[in-house]
Amino acid sequence: MEIVIVPDASAAGELIAAAITDLLTDKPDALLGVATGSTPLPIYRSLAERVRDGRLDASRARICQLDEYVGLPAGHPESYRSVVLREVVEPLGLTEDSFLGPDGNAADVAAAATAYDRALAEAGGVDLQLLGIGTDGHIGFNEPCSSLASRTRIKTLTRQTRVDNARFFDSIDQVPHHVITQGIGTILEARHLVLLATGEAKAEAVALAVEGPLAAAVPASALQLHPHATVVVDEAAASRLKLADYFRDTYAAKPAWQKL
Ligand SMILES: N[C@@H]1[C@@H](O)[C@H](O)[C@@H](COP(=O)(O)O)O[C@@H]1O
């Protein structure tokens, strides 16, 4: 696992957007797994800017979703499908044709989850999966004690996650209890995992995920199992890392030929 400590969220956005630019230069039709929430927005802003000024040709990129609420009406502005279309697909000049996501409104949610897992594999697998982290250590919507081998499936949100996400809704009562999320086993199949965390509120979850034991109680610790996982944190989110100086030295001495 590579830990990169950057000064702030905007530097993180630039760094990760540059890595995605490299990926799409090497593989123009790469499948990019995107996360929702506030944290990745600087990445999406930088990608859109790169498309606008010609530094990035994303015209053949494919975008897929990490997770979705169950039961929000189609087109609800806070369904993750709507968020990803608004924040990523449209700003990159893409259309829904290049987008894959689970159906949170299916009559048979379990079947929709399995179908999404299969669709990801049939699309050739995810090349780079962006991840955020919940204050309780979740990735996607894999709440604490999710199986580290889990596949895409229905999950029930913790009270904490519903409180954290209530800011996107009029009240906590409107935050769905159920979601479809790529499983931890599914996420681990992506070729490159990039987790971004910014702000003091994420510092404890980051420290547990990076320096704590591998544990289902901290779903993000599953990144320890992945051969190519990058964790990008700002100073605030890095504030509880005991090995922060080592991570800084390592990144400063990174060979020029080695990509993120
Ligand atoms: N399902 C999403 C996660 O994918 C995201 O990482 C998390 C953190 O969001 P934020 O970046 O807004 O803190 O929120 C939600 O729970």
Element of type H or E holding 239? none
What's the length of the chain?
260
| Closest alpha carbon to 184 in 228, 144, 157, 238 | 144
Tell the residue nearest (CA) to atom 8 of ligand 1: 134
Residue 66 one-letter amino acid = L
2-6 vs 229-234, strand pairing mode: parallel
What would the mean pLDDT of 213-229 be, rounded to a whole number? Answer: 98
Give the separation between CA 241 and CA 164, rounded to whole angstroms: 23
Pocket of ligand 1, candidates 39, 87, 169, 233: which has the most ligand atoms within 8 Å of its Cβ, to mutate?
39
Which ranges of 123-229 would DSSP assign to H, the alpha helix? 159-165, 184-187, 203-211
Structure tokens that stand for 258 in this block: 């080695």
Calculate the CA dihedral of residues 110, 116, 118, 119 and round it to 10 degrees.
160
Check: pTM over 0.95? Answer yes or no: yes
Of the pLDDT bands very low, low, confident and very high (cuts 50, 70, 90), residue 50 is: very high
pLDDT tens digit sequence for 186-201: 999 999 999 999 999 9
Task: Say yes or no: CB of residue 80 within 6 Å of ligand 1.
Answer: no
Give the separation between CA 10 and CA 45, rounded to whole angstroms: 9
Can you give the residue ranges of every domain in the chain?
A: 2-252
Closest-lying ligand 1 atom to the alpha carbon of residue 202:
13
Task: Say yes or no: CB of residue 65 within 6 Å of ligand 1.
Answer: no
pLDDT confidence of residue 255 = 94
How many Cβ atoms are within 10 Å of 147's Cβ, its own excluded? 14
Give the separation between CA 231 and CA 207, rounded to whole angstroms: 11
What would the mean pLDDT of 156-171 be, rounded to a whole number? Answer: 96
Tell me which CATH code domain 2-252 carries: 3.40.50.1360
Closest-lying ligand 1 atom to the alpha carbon of residue 199:
13
pLDDT confidence of residue 74 = 85
Task: Say yes or no: CB of residue 95 within 6 Å of ligand 1.
Answer: no
Q: What percent of the chain has pLDDT over 90?
A: 99
pLDDT confidence of residue 113 = 98
Structure tokens that stand for 233 in this block: 């944190």
The CA R_g of the chain, rounded to the nearest whole Å, is: 17
pLDDT confidence of residue 174 = 97
Task: Say yes or no: CB of residue 137 within 6 Å of ligand 1.
Answer: no
Residue 217 one-letter amino acid = A
Active site residues: 67, 136, 138, 143
Task: Give strand pairing partners of 74.
Answer: none
Pocket of ligand 1, candidates 138, 162, 233: which has the most ligand atoms within 8 Å of its Cβ, to mutate?
138
**Residue 53 φ/ψ, nearest 5 degrees:** -95, 10
Burial label, 154 (beta-carbon count in 10 A; 0-12, 13-18, 19+): middle
Q: How far is the CA of 176 from the centre of ligand 1 (A)?
A: 14
What would the mean pLDDT of 146-155 be, rounded to a whole number? Answer: 98
Task: Say yes or no: CB of residue 247 within 6 Å of ligand 1.
Answer: no
Residue 176 one-letter amino acid = P
Span between the terminal Cα atoms of the chain, in Å? 11
pLDDT confidence of residue 44 = 98
pLDDT confidence of residue 80 = 97
What would the mean pLDDT of 5-29 be, rounded to a whole number? Answer: 98
What would the mean pLDDT of 238-256 be, rounded to a whole number? Answer: 97
* CB contact set of 99 (below 8 Å; sequence gap of 6+): 62, 63, 64, 65, 84, 85, 89
pLDDT confidence of residue 99 = 97
